[in-house]
Structure 1
């Protein structure tokens, strides 16, 4: 058994297309979907017979869909494998045990698009793993069949984009501007700005911002700030910065505050996190 950490990253629209032969590849969405989707990722990884990979997926705060086209992948709590599933926004790591032929297509939805694509408020999915059948009905199986009918790579991304385009056709699918602007500001400021200041910046009250985040994001504004700060810290940790420097750069009260968040968001001690980065996979990798 081998273990590794998975850290998702959004590809830039200006980035060259990723390698289709990489075990993981993240694709920037087409211009038509860019307001609704942050990335589409593909996974194709044959694992040797008798071997198992345990992957620790660190939270990124998005709601995402996953279609399994290869061997079944059990749920993170040991629950049943699903052919098509939705993972709600979360601040907790997810442990996935993989064996056999791992082949998946994933879609990470932008804040404001969840209701249009899935038909429910983002907050109702928070921290949950739900069968896509429960939300799309027969259309979930049809989508999986269409994805399985084309080869891994660019062709599969094109089919996924067509499926999403059909879901959005004929509806007022404009993302909610205030929710999107607030989340963008939180990320840009590394979660260091107070929630009341974020709300004031986008022209709403704190209570209204809470409602918007339940509807369109799936995390509370405070949780989104904590996660954004940790993601900023994680970027520095991956580059080998000293813990004391990370504390100062990211606005933690002290080192114990940072250690608390490392444990909360990764399930690991800081020392174990450093060691595990030797086995890191990145969804934005070419």
Structure 2
């Protein structure tokens, strides 16, 4: 079982819940605040597929924050959490985390509690790096790194450093991840693979296949076959970090 819905209180965020299980979650450029059997955790930005079992538990909820939104809220640069799942108490004072966990637990749906927590924290910490939204938008549009750097008034090295803090990796890696997500969505919708490669911005179908293997650890055919019966135990459209 996997369900998600857009947050009404945190711009660009998605609320989700899932049961435990086996499988993988694929990179999406996002970071999540998780609720797992009464514990608060953070899932950092992924660079590849993650196996199930990194976060033990039977039922999970989360708020998936838009690319670049989590570092300001959490108070740590994204690259510190790259490919990691950590207890929130490793980042914030344990007493404060216990208090927040009790508040989340008081909600009938922990997703609502996580949403309220994130909204309050965002109000206290202020907005994320304004560069993040523009870089993400331009990468989704297929712009190259040099052009993006020029558009935002930075050198490529400066843009890379800012991106490490905001996204957990450089803009080229984020661009590859976002392109992969678009390709997977197209393939899942039944688009022929050769058309997927063209629309998503790959040089050809072979290039698409290499990127799916490199970032998702599988083939496009295997991914589509698995997603036909998608639940929390299979690769998700956006990604439950419980099975990451």
TM interval, shorter chain, is 0.7 to 0.9
Where 1:26 maps in the other structure, the secondary structure is strand
Counting only pairs closer than 5 Å after superposition, residues 149-160 of structure 1 correspond to structure 2 as 149-152=106-109, 156-160=110-114
| 1:112, distance to aligned residue in structure 2 (A) | 4.0
Runs of 4+ in 1 over 6 A off after TM superposition: none
| 1:26, distance to aligned residue in structure 2 (A) | 2.2
Aligned match of 1:122: 78
Return the structure number with greater strand share: 1
Is the CA contact 1:252–1:258 (under 8 Å) kept in the aligned structure 2? Answer: yes
Aligned match of 1:259: 209
| 1:245, distance to aligned residue in structure 2 (A) | 1.5
Aligned match of 2:241: none
Is the CA contact 2:62–2:111 (under 8 Å) kept in the aligned structure 1? Answer: no
- Equivalent residue for 2:157, pick from 203, 207, 218: 207
Return the structure number with greater helix share: 2
Where 1:90 maps in the other structure, the secondary structure is coil
Aligned match of 1:278: 228
Aligned match of 1:27: 5
1:102 aligns to 2:102 (yes or no): no
1:175 aligns to 2:175 (yes or no): no
Where 1:85 maps in the other structure, the secondary structure is strand
Is the CA contact 1:66–1:107 (under 8 Å) kept in the aligned structure 2? Answer: yes
Q: Distance in 2 between matches of 1:244 and 1:161?
A: 40
Aligned match of 2:43: 87
Is the CA contact 1:25–1:283 (under 8 Å) kept in the aligned structure 2? Answer: no
Residue 182 and residue 101 in structure 1: after superposition, are their counterparts in 2 closer, same or farther (change >3 A)? closer
Where 2:202 maps in the other structure, the secondary structure is coil
**What is the alpha-carbon root mean square deviation over aligned residues?**
2.5
Residue 244 and residue 110 in structure 1: after superposition, are their counterparts in 2 closer, same or farther (change >3 A)? closer
TM-score normalized by structure 1?
Answer: 0.72
Aligned match of 1:13: none
Per-residue deviation, residues 172-194 of structure 1 (Å, max 9, x unmatched): x122222221112212x1xx321
| 1:96, distance to aligned residue in structure 2 (A) | 1.4
Q: Distance in 2 between matches of 1:132 and 1:30?
A: 23
Aligned match of 1:80: none
Per-residue deviation, residues 148-201 of structure 1 (Å, max 9, x unmatched): 23323xxx3432233223323443x122222221112212x1xx3211112222
1:54 aligns to 2:22 (yes or no): yes
Residue 144 and residue 272 in structure 1: after superposition, are their counterparts in 2 closer, same or farther (change >3 A)? same
Where 1:105 maps in the other structure, the secondary structure is strand
Q: Aligned pair count?
A: 232
Is the CA contact 1:67–1:106 (under 8 Å) kept in the aligned structure 2? Answer: yes
Q: Which runs of 5+ in 2 are unaligned?
A: 239-244
Residue 248 and residue 130 in structure 1: after superposition, are their counterparts in 2 closer, same or farther (change >3 A)? same
Q: Distance in 2 between matches of 1:236 and 1:117?
A: 32
1:186 aligns to 2:120 (yes or no): no
- Equivalent residue for 1:40, pick from 10, 15, 33: 15
